[in-house]
Amino acid sequence: MLNDLKKKYEMFKIIKFNPRIWFFLESISCFFMLATGAFFQLIMDLQPCPLCISQRIAIFLLGLIFLIAVIHNPIGSGRKTYAILGCVTALIGASISVRHLWIQNMPEDEVPECGPGLSYIFENFPIMETLKLMLNGTGECAEVLWVFLGLSIPGWTLVSFIVLGVASLLQIWNKPATS
C-alpha cells in the first residue's frame, strides 16, 4: 500500500508544473478568449453589448495579472498574492457574466430598455454614469446572438472565469516541483 502511495505521489510530481508555466497557460487562455471575442465582433459581425465589453475588460485585466506573474516569476507569498488577485478578478468577471445571463433569461416584458450606443455614452456621459450603464446592462444585453451546446457567449465566459479562477487559486498550493 505504501508503494502505491509513493507511485501516486511520483505521478503527481510529474504533472505538477512550475507556477510560472501555470500563470503562462492562464494568460494565454485569456488571450484566446479576447481573440474569440474579436472574431465574433469582426468576422461574424456580432456587436458587443455593454456587459460583453465589461467582461472583455475583466478578461484583459485577468490576463494582465497572469502575464505580470509570468514576468515576475514570484515565489512564496508573491505567488499567493498573484493567485488571489487572479481569483478575485475572475470572480468579478464571473459576476458580470452572471448578470448578463440573468438579463438574457428575463421575461421579455421585464427586459430593461435599450440605451444609446456605446460611442455616444463614452462621449457624452460622465464616467460614473458610463460605468453604471456598462455594469447594469441594457436591453441589447438580453439578445442571445450565438449558442453552443446550450450555452450563450456569457455562459461560456462564465465557465471560463470559473476555470481560470480555480486554476489561479490552486497556485497557492502549487510549489515548484523539485527533482
What ranges do the domains of the chain cover? 19-170
As beta bridge partners, residue 147 has 152
> For 69-89, how does the pLDDT look when each residue is reduced to its tens digit (9 = 90+)?
999 888 878 888 999 999 999
- Find how far residue 106's CA is from the centre of its chain: 23
pLDDT at residue number 112: 63
- 145 φ, ψ (degrees, to nearest 5): -95, -20
Residue 179 has pLDDT above 50, yes or no: no
pLDDT at residue number 165: 93
- If you average pLDDT over residues 103-112, what whole number do you get? 70
As beta bridge partners, residue 151 has 148
Q: What percent of the chain has pLDDT over 90?
A: 31
DSSP code per residue over 43-104: IS-----HHHHHHHHHHHHHHHHHHHHHHH---THHHHHHHHHHHHHHHHHHHHHHHHHHHH
Superfamily of chain region 19-170: DsbB-like (1.20.1550.10)
pLDDT at residue number 176: 61
> For 21-54, how does the pLDDT look when each residue is reduced to its tens digit (9 = 90+)?
888 989 999 999 999 999 988 888 888 888 888 8
**How many residues comprise the chain?**
179
pLDDT at residue number 91: 94
